[in-house]
Amino acid sequence: MRQIAAGALAAIAAVVLLALSGIAFGHAPGELLSTLISGSIGSSFALHGTIVKSIPLLLTGLSVAIAFRAGVWNIGAEGQFIVGGLACFLAARFGLISSLLASMIAGAAWALIASLLRFWRNAPEVLTTIILNFVGFHLLGYSVNGPLQEARAQYPQTDAVAISLSTSGEVVIALSICIASWFLLYRTKEGLRLRATGFNPFAARWAGVHVNAQIARAMAISGGMAGLAGGIELLGVTHRLFERFAAGYGYSGIAVALLGQLHPLATLLSAVFFGALTTGAGELQRASNISASVATFGQAVVILTLIGLSSRAKRGIP
């Protein structure tokens, strides 16, 4: 209950602070708020925008949540998203299923590099996954400027893929993954072991859990979901790859997962909230000339509020 309350409080705090910050730009808070709401859920067009934004956020949020649940600080959803998109593009000619599978495998493999470095050299994932983000980013940059550049070689982007995924298809896949994540974490023995590893690897080890196997598996699942997010984004939204393809979805996934208290079902709500925030912020930019980066500001407020609440809880302050 406390966790749900903390999440709700953080979300409200973000919206209120955003609205108040409008005063600094000479806008009435109420006016901003209504633009945010109408721009995100006020029309079917806005709603569609929110859904399209929410899907990659949900998948990267789940990716981060699973890894964090196992005690692995996977900050690398961004890079895994990118290589997932790349693999999907390369496998697109083999059909929809194959290309989405390819994106999952690529994301998982990319994430497992960090686990291998953990096991061989005891390198912390929080560093290696961030570094792998840069590697992925530049790999994509090289690809769209070189071997994968469009046939007419005008812009640093690929040609459009031949296959595509409908928004309803995206929704079905994302919701299935969300429910499957919840089932894995809370309804299976392996999920119990995964969470035990995250809470206390020492006690998990004494209870007979193979801690390293759990860490590697969580990382693979996490990377697979972020990679799938990249594949879905390519086939469903962008249809081509370009340098800014990932658009920060991987990093935003951290905020989504934290607001969702690392619970898959709450992460769904959290993803929709951030999706709406991002879409609404776009409308804010068009209507009131306020930069759409207020959405990022909202993420920061959410994370800081949650940190404040959690440290209060740890000190025993109600």
Partner 1 sequence: MQLTNVTKSFGPTIAVDDVSLSVAPGEILGLIGENGAGKTTLMRIIAGEIEPDRGTIDVGGTIGFVHQHFMLVNEFTIAENLALVGAGDARFENSNRLVRDLSVGEKAAVELMKAIAKEPDLLILDEPTSVLTPNEAQKLFDTARELASRGKSVILISHKIREVLSIAIARAMVGERTHVAPPLRRRTTPAESRLYVRNLSVGTGEIVAVIGVAGNGQAELATMLRDTLPRETTAHIPEDRTRDGVIAEMSIAENLALVTNASAEELIATFGIRATGPRQRAGNLSGGNQQKLVLGRELTRSPAIIIAAEPTRGLDIESTAFVHEQLRAAAARGAAILLITSDLDEAFTLADGIHVIFRGTLSERLTPAEAGTRAGQLMAGVR
Binding-site ranges for partner 1 (CB under 8 A): 189, 192-193, 195-196, 199-200, 202-209
Between 171 and 192, CB nearer to partner 1: 192
∠ CA 231-235-236, nearest 5°, is 110
Taking the complex as a whole, how short is the minimal distance between the CB of residue 183 and partner 1, in angstroms?
Answer: 16
Taking the complex as a whole, how short is the minimal distance between the CB of residue 10 and partner 1, in angstroms?
Answer: 20
Taking the complex as a whole, how short is the minimal distance between the CB of residue 190 and partner 1, in angstroms?
Answer: 11
Per this entry, what is the length of the chain?
Answer: 318
Between 34 and 200, CB nearer to partner 1: 200
Buried b (16+ CB within 10 A) or exposed e, 84-102: bbbbbbbbbeeebeebbbb
Taking the complex as a whole, how short is the minimal distance between the CB of residue 203 and partner 1, in angstroms?
Answer: 5
Phi, psi of 61 (to 5 degrees): -65, -45
Taking the complex as a whole, how short is the minimal distance between the CB of residue 310 and partner 1, in angstroms?
Answer: 13
Separation between Cα atoms, residue 195 and residue 184, nearest integer Å: 10
Taking the complex as a whole, how short is the minimal distance between the CB of residue 260 and partner 1, in angstroms?
Answer: 17
Between 143 and 214, CB nearer to partner 1: 214
Q: Which two tokens stand for residue 58?
A: 């949900």
Return the SS3 of 227: helix
Judged on CB neighbours under 10 Å (0-12, 13-18, 19+), 65 is buried
CB of 273 within 8 A of CB of 14? no
Between 13 and 196, CB nearer to partner 1: 196
Between 20 and 207, CB nearer to partner 1: 207
Q: Which two tokens stand for residue 252?
A: 């935003």
Taking the complex as a whole, how short is the minimal distance between the CB of residue 59 and partner 1, in angstroms?
Answer: 26
Taking the complex as a whole, how short is the minimal distance between the CB of residue 129 and partner 1, in angstroms?
Answer: 24
The partner residues of 242 in beta bridges, in order of sequence, read 157
Phi, psi of 157 (to 5 degrees): -155, 165
CB of 255 within 8 A of CB of 110? no
Between 53 and 195, CB nearer to partner 1: 195
CA dihedral 226→229→230→236, nearest 10 degrees, is 180
Between 71 and 76, CB nearer to partner 1: 71
Between 120 and 206, CB nearer to partner 1: 206
User: What number of other Cβ atoms are within 10 A of residue 279's Cβ?
Assistant: 26
